[in-house]
């Protein structure tokens, strides 16, 4: 929070409640404290909220990367299944595991599938996009042929 904004906020709270603000609970920002003392005209006893004063509970070194674990493989497989099979693959997974898929999951899968179909229809029927695809395919073919000739 900006220093002036924090000081004005404390002043407004004091004006509305008719009680002086004497103990703000906030992050360790010296600029806000000094500005608040200046605006309010009295000393403040600052308390730090737990989110800013508590040390991280993780004992893992920050230089250690765990994003290449087995869970990464699962996330990639799930994303690939979503692209290849469609958004309803999650319902299929639940059914194969003999677990009932929730209504929220079903509604979200249907909604995402409809959006995907709309996007596909939007691009499939457009003649400009078809022309561009053919042009790009032709350019790619000519580039590979020229590279093959140079290699020989």
Average pLDDT (87-93) is 84
Pairing type for strands 25-26 and 47-48 reads: parallel
Per-residue pLDDT tens over the stretch 40-87: 887 887 776 666 555 555 565 666 666 677 777 777 888 888 888 888
In a domain, 62, yes or no: no
Give this prediction's pTM: 0.36
Query: In this structure, is the dihedral angle defined by the CA atoms of residues 71, 74, 78 and 79, taken in order, positive or negative?
Result: positive
Per-residue pLDDT tens over the stretch 132-151: 888 999 999 998 888 887 77
Average pLDDT (29-33) is 77
Buried b or exposed e, range 17-30, using 16+ CB within 10 angstroms: eeeebeebebeebe
Higher pLDDT, 91 or 53: 91
In a domain, 98, yes or no: yes
Domain that holds residue 18: 3-51
In a domain, 150, yes or no: no
139 shares a domain with 74: yes
138 shares a domain with 76: yes
**Total domains present in the chain:** 2
47 shares a domain with 11: yes
Rounded Cα distance, 78 and 123, in Å: 25
């Amino acid at each position: 929070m900006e220093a002036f904004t924090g000081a004005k906020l404390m002043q407004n709270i004091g004006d509305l409640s008719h009680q002086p603000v004497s103990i703000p609970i906030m992050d360790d920002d010296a600029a806000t404290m000094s500005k608040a003392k200046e605006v309010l005209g009295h000393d403040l006893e600052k308390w730090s909220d737990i989110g800013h004063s508590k040390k991280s509970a993780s004992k893992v070194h920050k230089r250690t990367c765990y994003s290449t674990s087995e869970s990464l493989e699962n996330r990639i497989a799930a994303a690939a299944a979503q692209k290849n099979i469609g958004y309803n693959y999650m319902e299929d997974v639940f059914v194969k595991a003999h677990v009932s898929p929730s209504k929220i999951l079903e509604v979200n899968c249907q909604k995402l599938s409809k959006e995907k179909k709309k996007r596909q229809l939007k691009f499939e029927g457009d003649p400009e996009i078809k022309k561009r695809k053919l042009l790009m395919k032709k350019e790619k073919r000519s580039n590979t042929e020229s590279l093959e000739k140079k290699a020989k």
